[in-house]
Amino acid sequence: MNKQFQLLNLIFTFIISFSLTFIVVSARLFPDVPSWIPSGTPPAGAWDAFRNFTGCHHGVKYDGLSNLKNYFQHFGYISHAPQLNFSDNFDDALENAIKTYQKNFNLNITGELDDNTLRQIVLPRCGVADIINGTTAMNAGKEKETTSYGHSKPKFHTLSHFTVFPGQPRWPEGKQELTYAFFPGNDLSKTVKSVFATAFARWSEVTTLTFTETESYSSADMKIGFFEGDHGDGEPFDGSLGTLAHAFSPTNGRFHLDAAEDWVVSGDISKSSLPTAVDLESVAVHEIGHLLGLGHSSVEDAIMFPTISSRMKKVVLAEDDVRGIQYLYGTNPSYNGSTTTSSPETNSGNCGRSLTTVWSLWSLFTFLTFAFSPFVL
């Protein structure tokens, strides 16, 4: 009887440790600005190789150019079935994609892969497409007679520069109090969670929406998690830099961050020696904009601009962002016209627990369970 109990106990321990080992996702979180200089060469950004296409010309074939076409397809600039393999030819479709991209990002519209255009293309950015269902509401959508899509009128609302998703999805009227929860497998520290709370507060300050953290991941309106590579929603992450995060339009509520980034939780990130350091709050404020229904804006100062450089902090809502969110949800009567939410700072010695450590502990636990099991029985 006693042996049976021990056997059951062992099986139970194994199941628990096995499942927890697999649901824990390691994320690279730095509680403060890393001041150390990494040894060796820094990891290449996901799109760095595109810089080699500087000066490439229409009508010529270049090795690997199909990868750039995949990039443009991902962000909505080339409409093709995903299963279709692109050629390496610099064709009309690529030239049109470049022109539309240049309009959206306030670049000279040349249709060529000039230095300024490629410098913009390789910047880390949000994974949400700029053009959804073939229609852009960024700059290029405002010049409907010159777009390559031939729509008689833009489908997006183009008041100001902000954009909303097609169909203008938003959280239902009357539902002012929204909840959010963190993916339990990440086991985030309080310091990390507070960054998201501050990011939410920036949006609630200018509207009447409120955001409250809840323990129940399954029932929360918004679900936040760090994931690596292919994580089951058809939008795989790509490692260091490249795509940083993505979020879905209302009322889906999913907000995913690439666990492979070097996320910095607090401090003056511009002073970081780590070239791949990404400011967590900046990305959180942007993605929450998507969760609430905003699309990308061509205004470079706006939170909803699609790209952000590494070692850059941008957390204050621009006028364009405020107009956008108030277009969807109305104003906050107590909002005085300027955003004031300040970023929380943590002591540099306050070391949050890295998720890699958590993963390692569970691996050790599993190992010990197996190593000592014959002696238990």
Measure the CA–CA gap between 16 and 277, rounded to whole angstroms. Answer: 34
| Residue whose CB is less far from Zn ion, 65 or 322 | 322
Task: Draw the binding track, 96-135, toward Zn ion (x: CB under 5 A; -: no contact).
Answer: ------------------------------x-x-------
Size of the site for Zn ion (CB under 5 A): 5
- Residue 177 identity: E
| Residue whose CB is less far from Zn ion, 126 or 264 | 126
Q: Which residue is nearest to Zn ion (CB)?
A: 126
| Residue whose CB is less far from Zn ion, 233 or 345 | 233
Ranges within 318-347 binding Zn ion (CB under 5 A): none
| Residue whose CB is less far from Zn ion, 53 or 217 | 217
Contacts of 149 (CB under 8 A, 6+ apart): 134, 135
Task: Draw the binding track, 226-255, toward Zn ion (x: CB under 5 A; -: no contact).
Answer: -------x-x--------------------
- Annotated binding site, which residues? 126, 187, 221, 231, 233, 238-239, 246, 256, 258, 261, 286, 290, 296, 304
The CB-of-292 to Zn ion minimum distance in angstroms stands at: 12
Catalytic residue among 173, 287, 319, 345: 287
The CB-of-259 to Zn ion minimum distance in angstroms stands at: 11
287 catalytic? Reply is yes
- Annotated binding site for Ca(2+), which residues? 187, 221, 238-239, 258, 261
Q: Do 260 and 228 touch, CB atoms closer than 8 A? A: yes
The CB-of-235 to Zn ion minimum distance in angstroms stands at: 5
Query: Is it true that the peptide bond before 366 is cis, omega within 30 degrees of 0?
Result: no
Q: Which stretch binds Zn ion (CB under 5 A): 193-201, 225-233, 274-282, 317-325?
A: 225-233
The CB-of-99 to Zn ion minimum distance in angstroms stands at: 22
Ranges within 149-208 binding Zn ion (CB under 5 A): none
| Residue whose CB is less far from Zn ion, 126 or 299 | 126
| Residue whose CB is less far from Zn ion, 243 or 276 | 243
Any idea of the CA torsion for 167, 172, 178, 183, to the nearest 10 degrees?
-50
- Determine, following the binding rule CB under 5 A, whether residue 256 of this chain makes contact with Zn ion: yes
- Annotated binding site for Zn(2+), which residues? 126, 231, 233, 246, 256, 286, 290, 296, 304
| Residue whose CB is less far from Zn ion, 114 or 235 | 235
The CB-of-255 to Zn ion minimum distance in angstroms stands at: 9
Measure the CA–CA gap between 163 and 211, rounded to whole angstroms. Answer: 22
Measure the CA–CA gap between 281 and 193, rounded to whole angstroms. Answer: 10
The CB-of-234 to Zn ion minimum distance in angstroms stands at: 8
The CB-of-24 to Zn ion minimum distance in angstroms stands at: 17
Q: Which residues are at the interface with Zn ion (CB under 5 A)?
A: 126, 128, 233, 235, 256
- By annotation, the residues acting in catalysis are 287
